[in-house]
Amino acid sequence: MDFLKMKLEKLPRIGMKYGAILKKLNIETVEDFLLHFPFRYEDYSERILIENLAAGETATVMGEVVQSKLVRTWKKKMMITECFVSDETGTVRAVWFNQPYVSDSLTAGKGVRLAGKVSQDTKGMFFSNPAWELSSRTPTNTGRLVPIYPETEGLTSKWIRWQMQNMIKYADALIDPIPENILKGLHLPILSEAVKSLHFPKTLKEFELAQKRFAFQQMFLVQLATQRVKISWDKQNAVSIAFNETLTKYFVESLPFTLTDAQRKAAFQILKDLEKPLPMNRLLNGDVGSGKTIVAAMACLSAINAGFQVSIMAPTEVLAKQHYLTLCGLFKNSEIKIALFTNSYREINNFQFPISNFQINPNVENPKLKNTKKIRDSRDDFLEKLKSGEINLVIGTHALIQKDIHPVKSPTNGRGAKQFNRVKFKNLALIIIDEQHRFGVAQRAFLQQQIADINDGLPGKIPHLLTMTATPIPRTLTLAFFGNLDISVLDEMPKNRKPIVTEIILPSKRKDIYDFVRSEISKGHQAFIIFPLVEESEKLTELKAATQEHERLSREIFPDLKLGLLHGKLKASEKEQVMADFKDKKYNILVATSVVEVGIDIPNATVIVIEDAERFGLSQLHQFRGRVGRSDKQSYCFLFTGSKTVKAKSRLGAMEKTSSGFAIAEEDLKLRGPGEFLGTRQSGLPDIAMEHLSNVKLIEIAHDYAEQTLQNSPDLADYPLLQKELGKFQSNVHLE
């Protein structure tokens, strides 16, 4: 019987009760338990003589129990265990609150180890709630580097340690998925030894080596996953789109501004990729306001001029509509037919076909909707224009590659759904995905899969793929997660852009900033005021909710001005209306939550005020700041903070020092760590891998070994254990 696969709930020391609790941490088998690693350690390894104890230090002492007593405090109705322990140099007191069983265990004459923080009161030195164990036992909770584990309600690190002491012997049965020659080449321990060292390291060096081994394993699997995607992608075919230098030059010269050198370089890289019969898979990583849309437009022009169709996908309808309007403006003197397609409406150039009521059953008469049939026909007409090639460029959300679900009544149960076919193209040769990090984890995986088998009308070919992001990605994360992509970087601002003046504002200066906002509005400009929440929450009651602040600002601070409100709970159509009204200058100030973080373009806005700025990461603050400074007007970003901590002020100070998104991203990664920098821990990567994501050398080594391994065995058939481990890894971890 494979003991590693044994369900924990069947083990007598664990049983159904703890088995159910462990399940909450996704720990079900003995193997799962062994691979549940500590996230930090308490260093109780150095034993100190009682006479050398000092208040404020963390220490371990060993001695004999002299006296133990249980005291009840009537005032607070609390049970206090008080124990006196002596060694050859003196006696120290230890106190536990509401743990009466301790006095039963620590009776006079027993040898004991105590570990914890030393405090001092009028009676002298004492330990408060220290870890303890009988000195006759192998050190588990004291006298060593003591592991601290991720916990949940009803499950303590101490309990996990006791169980691990009994189970650690089964680590010898763990089969190592990493080839032996790789581990030997890197002087790393095998899996069983590394597991033992992580749970119960004898020395700090032993723990660090084990941690490095698991960090390498995770990075190695990341690199295998990304490189396999690249190998698979490179086996596909795409149409070759000739680079029309004359047309490109004419388009660039017709623009009312001059391209930056970074834009020219990125555009050239993309246009040369499109010439190849292999599908492009390139990431355009641009700082806020660096002009990604123009670079994308040049790629669109090249493909459309060659007689092919192009699709642009954005994560929200607001961003899709903005791209549509921008590209209509850029191509207004051409014969390019541009369309917008989302779940809410369709539009071809300036001819709109609203479908907000599209889900009404077209087979049932509805007196309130006389145009139901017309709506249905317009959709079919739209799809026909895509299929026939009449539409050259279609912009939308991921609805472009989804199947539409249309509710209809079933003759049997009155419920059901009619499923329409996915959108079909005549000859789709290029797909551009904007702000790909804003698509959910599942959506990103879905998008990548669907690109290859989208109904593009080109048998045996797949479209070229260009993804864009306005979130600058630090070099180490690019190396770690984007190994399957070619990268183009826009790290240069257009020449007419002035640096945004950024200042940290303390509460005492709030009125001055409000007066400054008013003065900017008197010049005909507009302003943003950003809040972290839509409404008050129990956990963050001190934060000003956008809805409440909108009312306060309208009533008390700017009663003579017009204030709009934008937050994530509005419907897509409502958000669009608010943004359209703000762009049309119907509002002087837009009060908003983080929904404006990316992509909203209001050139007339010159001031952004960010409340509770310390609540946001630096990269997110940089995205907010990018909502202004989008014209030749001087713009300003004011960071309101009530925090008095040196750490918060130091962190926000990075925003004052630099306007480079890439420099800020590096600083953000350093300060917050990769797990928080990536926005969430949904990636599924364990803490050990996260902690080493800034280790460029480790990532490069993992990359080289992955490359060698796949050269030897592209499908990993020669490495069945590694193949199996990679399958598990890909089901748990979501790469960007």
Which pairing describes strands 90-97 and 124-128: parallel, antiparallel, or unpaired? parallel
Q: Are residues 97 and 21 in the same domain?
A: no
Q: Where are the alpha helices (DSSP H) in 168-259?
A: 180-186, 191-199, 204-234, 245-254
The phi and psi torsions of 141 (rounded to 5 degrees) equal -105, -5
* Residue 193: inside a domain: no
- Rounded to an integer, what distance in angstroms lies between the CA atom of residue 285 and that of residue 226? 18
* Residue 233: inside a domain: no
The whole-number pLDDT of residue 430 equals: 94
Return the structure tokens found at 304. Answer: 């459309």
* Residue 605 bridge partners (DSSP): 526
* Residue 657 bridge partners (DSSP): none
The whole-number pLDDT of residue 111 equals: 92
* Residue 232: inside a domain: no
- If one compares 566 and 272, the residue with the highest pLDDT of the two is 272
Mean pLDDT in residue range 669-679: 64
The whole-number pLDDT of residue 187 equals: 94
Q: Are residues 525 and 640 in the same domain?
A: yes
- Rounded to an integer, what distance in angstroms lies between the CA atom of residue 469 and that of residue 282? 11
* Residue 530 bridge partners (DSSP): 592, 610
Give whole-number Cα distances, 153 to 15, 38, 147, 448, 525, in Å: 17, 17, 18, 39, 53
Kindly indicate the confidence band of residue 171, based on its pLDDT and cuts at 50, 70 and 90. Answer: very high
Q: Are residues 437 and 576 in the same domain?
A: no
* Residue 313: inside a domain: yes
* Residue 402: inside a domain: yes
Distance of CA 540 to the CA centre of its chain: 22
3-class SS of residue 178: coil
pLDDT in tens, 691-711: 666 677 888 899 999 999 999
Q: Are residues 423 and 535 in the same domain?
A: no
Q: Are residues 291 and 326 in the same domain?
A: yes
Give whole-number Cα distances, 56 to 59, 117, 383, 510, in Å: 9, 6, 72, 40
* Residue 153: inside a domain: yes
- Rounded to an integer, what distance in angstroms lies between the CA atom of residue 65 and that of residue 645? 44
Q: Are residues 426 and 479 in the same domain?
A: yes
- If one compares 592 and 650, the residue with the highest pLDDT of the two is 592
- Rounded to an integer, what distance in angstroms lies between the CA atom of residue 600 and that of residue 592? 12
Please give the model's pTM, rounded to 2 decimal places. Answer: 0.72
* Residue 340 bridge partners (DSSP): 347, 395
CATH code of 464's domain = 3.40.50.300
- If one compares 549 and 716, the residue with the highest pLDDT of the two is 716
Q: DSSP assignment, residue 602? A: -
* Domain final residue, candidates 658, 683, 716: 658
Q: Are residues 310 and 373 in the same domain?
A: yes
Percentage above 90 pLDDT, the chain: 35
Q: Are residues 10 and 116 in the same domain?
A: no
Q: DSSP assignment, residue 152? A: B
The whole-number pLDDT of residue 74 equals: 66
pLDDT in tens, 433-480: 887 555 443 444 445 556 666 677 788 888 899 989 877 877 777 777
The b-or-e profile of 669-684 (16+ CB within 10 A means b, else e) is beeeebbebbeeeebe
Q: Are residues 614 and 561 in the same domain?
A: yes
Beta strands in 314-410 (DSSP E): 338-341, 345-348, 351-354, 393-396, 405-407
Look at residue 360 and tell me whether its pLDDT is greater than 70.
no
Distance of CA 386 to the CA centre of its chain: 35
Q: Is 471 exposed, middle or buried (0-12, 13-18, 19+ CB in 10 A)?
A: buried
Q: DSSP assignment, residue 553? A: I
Mean pLDDT in residue range 421-428: 79
CATH code of 53's domain = 2.40.50.140
Report which of 61, 146, 153, 158 is spatially closest to residue 111, judged by C-alpha positions.
61
Contacts of 94 (CB under 8 A, 6+ apart): 82, 83, 84, 85, 114, 126, 127, 130, 132
Which of 262-271, 338-347, 693-702 reaches the highest mean pLDDT? 262-271
* Sign of the torsion formed by the C-alpha atoms of 204, 206, 212 and 215: negative
pLDDT in tens, 12-54: 889 999 999 998 888 999 999 999 988 888 888 888 899 999 8
* Residue 203: inside a domain: no
The whole-number pLDDT of residue 333 equals: 81
* Residue 732: inside a domain: no
Q: Are residues 122 and 62 in the same domain?
A: yes
Contacts of 563 (CB under 8 A, 6+ apart): 550, 553, 554, 587, 588, 589, 590, 591
Q: Where are the alpha helices (DSSP H) in 472-571?
A: 475-481, 510-522, 546-552
Beta strands in 50-130 (DSSP E): 58-73, 78-87, 90-97, 111-121, 124-128
Q: Are residues 611 and 472 in the same domain?
A: no
Provide the domain count of the chain.
4
Distance of CA 475 to the CA centre of its chain: 16
For residue 86, give its domain range. 46-143
pLDDT in tens, 190-200: 999 999 999 99
The whole-number pLDDT of residue 689 equals: 60
Q: Are residues 51 and 11 in the same domain?
A: no
